[in-house]
Amino acid sequence: MKLPRFDYEAPATVAEAVELLAAHEDQASVLAGGQSLIPLLALRLARPAVLIDINGLGELSGVSVTDGFVTIGALTREFAAEESATVADAVPLLAAALPLIGHEAIRSRGTIGGSMAHADPAAELPAVARALDAEFVVRGQSGDRVIPAAEWFEGYLTTSRRSDEILLEVRFPAVMPGTGVAFQEIARRHGDFAIVGLAASLTLDDGAIGDARLAFAGLADVPVRAAEAEAFLVGQRPSAGLFEEAARRATAGLDPPADLHGSSEYRKKIAATLVRRGLQAAARNAGERQ
Amino acid sequence: MTDIAMTVNGATRTGSVEARKTLADFLRDDLDLTGTHVGCEHGVCGACTVIVDGRAVRSCLMLAVQAAGSEVTTIEGLAPDGALGTLQQAMWDSHSFQCGFCTPGFVMQASAFLSAHPDADEQQIRAALSGNLCRCTGYQSIIDGVLLAARRSRAGISEGISEG
Ligand SMILES: Cc1cc2nc3c(=O)[nH]c(=O)nc-3n(C[C@H](O)[C@H](O)[C@H](O)COP(=O)(O)OP(=O)(O)OC[C@H]3O[C@@H](n4cnc5c(N)ncnc54)[C@H](O)[C@@H]3O)c2cc1C
Ligand code: FES
Ligand code: FES
């Protein structure tokens, strides 16, 4: 369908964008890559009175490294992060997830901040942010806030961002030596949203697991960490039997939603398979990186 | 209404548009470049794919006002003097298309991809074209055409004009 009418603002500074957001309260939407918001407009699932286009805010794009953190500007395009050597070296889990987002042409425009602010529970990047305990930096009228990933994702397409706040950047902790990562997903076709996805990271220390991180996409209305399975893995040596038991623990308490892409039991079964595969791949990858 | 100017297929084009007009509709309705097709109008079919500042994008998911100042290439820009480029000729030779509705989107996506990845293999080509839907061909002939174009480019055989 053709897009509904809206007023259009293209602020030249972040301060101006924040002012505009505050002035229009919850009647305004930020327009970043438009790869989620424009379809929502076309389908009349969103009807903002005003679009605040942040594509002119060049200061919001780019990747930088400071004090063990990799900071990615909200407006950094998905393809640019995918091509970034810094991301590949220092946040390999993010690098593994990026090529799985939609298709080439989607990643040409789609932004890191847009995916995080949209917070689709089946999306790859929110699961990565949750697995790595990323932090979200937002700016509103009352100043800046730093929000940990555990508090950022509140529900289906809902974050803890207030309506007058703009997401400025996402900070990822740089990878520790000895860490292997994998992003695994099952989707009907290449580029589709995952039925279930898994972000996995294992850090080996003298052959034993020092740190384990598992976060699922597509199993609830927010990305889900498998805390019990993570704790179980720490201190042990990687083996097929260990990963089998981790898969059981990671999925035991789950009650995933059913939809036309898969029943609840099917999702649970896929989730267990992904844990096994993800941990195996991460352990292999850790060996290669040591 | 907002006055905009952009470079389309090498020429400066101007217009006066509502903010809600997509780049796809601006190209088709205001500039009469109806080679860009509009299928789903919400980002899933790829028929509207054009190249903006060197990258393939969905023109139904970009506002015309957002393309102001950009360099846009549409299907009409690939064979400006009527001679087919390497990619178009290879797709012709491979009988890549049937009804042709999806054609401009596939050709623009493949063109952007091959210029960035001239050495792409079949797997990479399949991934690159995964966002374009075709209701007729079953895709194999499209993949064959793009592979043939990649092979011919590498061998330095260029029928007609060659794409950049
Ligand atoms: C065909 C298709 C397939 C796709 N497949 C996938 C997939 O497999 N996996 C996946 O993860 N995604 C997929 N996507 C979505 C894609 O990743 C989007 O790019 C992303 O979800 C949104 O990013 P955007 O920059 O386009 O944001 P927009 O669409 O511009 O915005 C999305 C939402 O975030 C808000 N927002 C954006 N930036 C900010 C900011 N800086 N501050 C505050 N609010 C902000 C907007 O107001 C809006 O509510 C797909 C999209 C399409 C069309
Ligand atoms: S018309 Fe743009 S993707 Fe279908
Ligand atoms: S040739 Fe008919 S849709 Fe592709």
What is the rounded distance in angstroms from the CA atom of residue B55 to the CA atom of residue B106?
Answer: 14
**Partner-chain contact A190 B130, CB within 8 Å:** yes
Chain B contacts to A (CB-CB under 8 A): 2, 18-22, 25, 41-44, 46, 49, 52, 55-58, 60-63, 65-66, 109, 112-113, 126-128, 130-132
- Written in H, E and C, the secondary structure of chain A is CCCCCCEEECCCCHHHHHHHHHHHHHHEEEECCCCCHHHHHHCCCCCCCEEEECCCCHHHCCEEEECCEEEEECCCEHHHHHHCHHHHHHCHHHHHHHHHCCCHHHHHHCEHHHHHHHCCCCCHHHHHHHHCCCEEEEEECCEEEEEEHHHHEEECCEECCCCCCEEEEEEEECCCCCEEEEEEEECCCCCCCCCEEEEEEEEEECCEEEEEEEEEECCCCCCEECHHHHHHHCCCCCCHHHHHHHHHHHHHCCCCCCECCECHHHHHHHHHHHHHHHHHHHHHHHHHHC
Q: Which two tokens stand for residue B8?
A: 């389309």
Measured between CA atoms, how close is B156 to chain A, in angstroms?
Answer: 26
Q: Where in chain A is CATH 3.30.390.50?
A: 180-289
pLDDT of residue B157: 63
Find where tokens 């794409």 sit.
Answer: B163
Q: Which two tokens stand for residue A176?
A: 């520790």
With a CB cutoff of 8 Å and minimum separation 6, the contacts of A171 are: A69, A70, A71, A72, A134, A135, A136, A137, A146
Q: Which of A50-64, A83-97, B30-44, B74-88 has the lowest mean pLDDT?
A: B74-88
pLDDT band, residue B163 (cuts 50/70/90): very low
Backbone φ, ψ for residue B115 (5° rounding): -70, -30
Cross-chain CB nearest to B131 (options A3, A4, A103): A103
Does B62 share its domain with B97?
A: no
Residue from A79, A104, A109, A188 to probe the interface with B (highest B Cβ count within 10 Å): A104
With a CB cutoff of 8 Å and minimum separation 6, the contacts of A252 are: none
User: Among residues B61, B78, B95, which one ends one of the domains?
Assistant: B78
pLDDT of residue B14: 98
Query: Is B45 touching ligand 2 by the criterion CB < 6 Å?
Result: yes
Q: What is the mean pLDDT of residues B24-39?
A: 98
In a domain, B119, yes or no: yes
Q: What is the mean pLDDT of residues B131-148?
A: 97
User: Among residues B62, B78, B94, which one ends one of the domains?
Assistant: B78
What is the rounded distance in angstroms from the CA atom of residue A65 to the CA atom of residue A91?
Answer: 11
Query: A7-50 — its CATH code?
Result: 3.30.43
pLDDT of residue B156: 83
Q: Rounded to two decimals, what is the model's pTM?
A: 0.96
User: Among residues B78, B103, B136, which one ends one of the domains?
Assistant: B78
pLDDT < 50 regions, chain A = none
**A25-56 confidence digits (pLDDT tens):** 889 999 999 999 999 999 999 999 999 999 99
pLDDT of residue A287: 79
What is the rounded distance in angstroms from the CA atom of residue B90 to the CA atom of residue B144?
Answer: 9
pLDDT of residue A191: 82
* Terminal alpha carbon distance of chain A: 52
What is the rounded distance in angstroms from the CA atom of residue A10 to the CA atom of residue A168?
Answer: 16
**A23 interface with B at CB cutoff 8 Å:** no
pLDDT of residue A158: 97
- Number of the ligand 1 atom closest to the C-alpha atom of A77: 25
Q: How many residues does chain A have?
A: 290
Measured between CA atoms, how close is A239 to chain B, in angstroms?
Answer: 32
Does B73 share its domain with B91?
A: no
**CATH value of A180-289 in 3.40.190.80, 3.40.50.620, 3.20.20.100, 3.30.390.50:** 3.30.390.50
Query: Is B47 touching ligand 2 by the criterion CB < 6 Å?
Result: yes
Q: Give A14's Cβ-side CA count (13 Å radius).
A: 18
pLDDT of residue B106: 98
User: For residue B63, what are the domain limits?
Assistant: 2-78
| Chain B contact set for A56 (CB, 8 A) | none
**Partner-chain contact A102 B25, CB within 8 Å:** no
pLDDT band, residue B158 (cuts 50/70/90): low
